[in-house]
Amino acid sequence: MRRYNGGRLNAAAVRQSFRAVFQGRRSTQVYHRDCGKNLDRHKLARVPTGQREVFIHRTERTDVNCAIEILIDVSSSMKGSIEAAETALMGVLEGLDGLPGITTGAMAFPSSDGKAIKLKGHNERFKSIVKNGNFGLTANGFTPLAQALWPAAIDLLRSADEKARKILMVITDGDPDCRDQTVTMTNKIRESGIEVFCLGFGTVNHDFLKLCYGDRGIDVGTVNNLSQSLFKILKKQI
């Protein structure tokens, strides 16, 4: 709950960052009906001719269609930064919860058998599952990022609408067990139509961060930098 409350402190700023990036993808449609509260005075002259649709109505249409999968590293190398990393994860999930046009899913790796485990599905609201015991992560084990990336990508592809923009966001210290395999897998995922981003926490390996993610990877440093970091990398690419 301490991490959840810390995440909530950043949720509003995260939400604002995503809205700022996607704000150009929203539009308002204006039309007229024969009843309502807002009278269009320019239409009044047409009433004697039988035209009754003189009341203004507006609908806001969202063009945003984006699915985001977050994969968080809980390996032993994250012991000193797992609290900050999970707080950031919760801040993103809380901030995007219910945001029109955006769905989120989350997985953690490694589990006890070395694989990735699901924390949140795309059809679930974060607020409804936060107390179910899926969170409160502890760091242990190796860093098999290459093996964890594909299950996260599959979950994203299965859960997202076919036309949705798909983003896989990795939270890690950026230093996996098998670097070459991780770069190869990341490139394969990109080829499948998924954009891969990375938020670095802890003792980030900047050389590998640049090699694997390019300008889509950033060393966040502290949770206080979360929304600014998200805005920085998203604005460049979206």
Q: Evaluate whether 99 touches 22 at the Cβ level (below 8 Å).
A: no
54-58, 110-114, 194-198 — which one is most confidently predicted on average? 194-198
In the prediction, which pLDDT does 23 show?
Answer: 59
Between residues 14 and 112, the one the model is more confident about:
14
Q: Closest Cα to residue 149, out of 119, 126, 181, 191? A: 181
Strands 102-109 and 117-120, bridge-based pairing:
antiparallel
Q: Closest Cα to residue 177, out of 220, 153, 141, 139? A: 141
In the prediction, which pLDDT does 187 show?
Answer: 96
Q: Render pLDDT for 140-153 as a digit per residue (tens, 0 to 9).
A: 888 999 999 999 99
Q: Render pLDDT for 62-96 as a digit per residue (tens, 0 to 9).
A: 567 889 999 999 999 999 999 999 999 989 999 88
| Strand, coil or helix: 188 | helix
Q: Which residue matches tokens 């923009």?
A: 165
Domains, the chain, in order of start with CATH, read 2-22+64-237 (3.40.50.410), 24-62 (no CATH)
Give residue 2's pLDDT band: very low, low, confident or very high (50, 70, 90): confident
Return the beta strands (E) in the chain as ranges.
Answer: 26-33, 55-62, 66-73, 102-109, 117-120, 165-172, 194-200, 217-219
In the prediction, which pLDDT does 121 show?
Answer: 94
Q: What is the DSSP letter of 135?
A: -
In the prediction, which pLDDT does 29 show?
Answer: 66
Q: Evaluate whether 111 touches 147 at the Cβ level (below 8 Å).
A: no
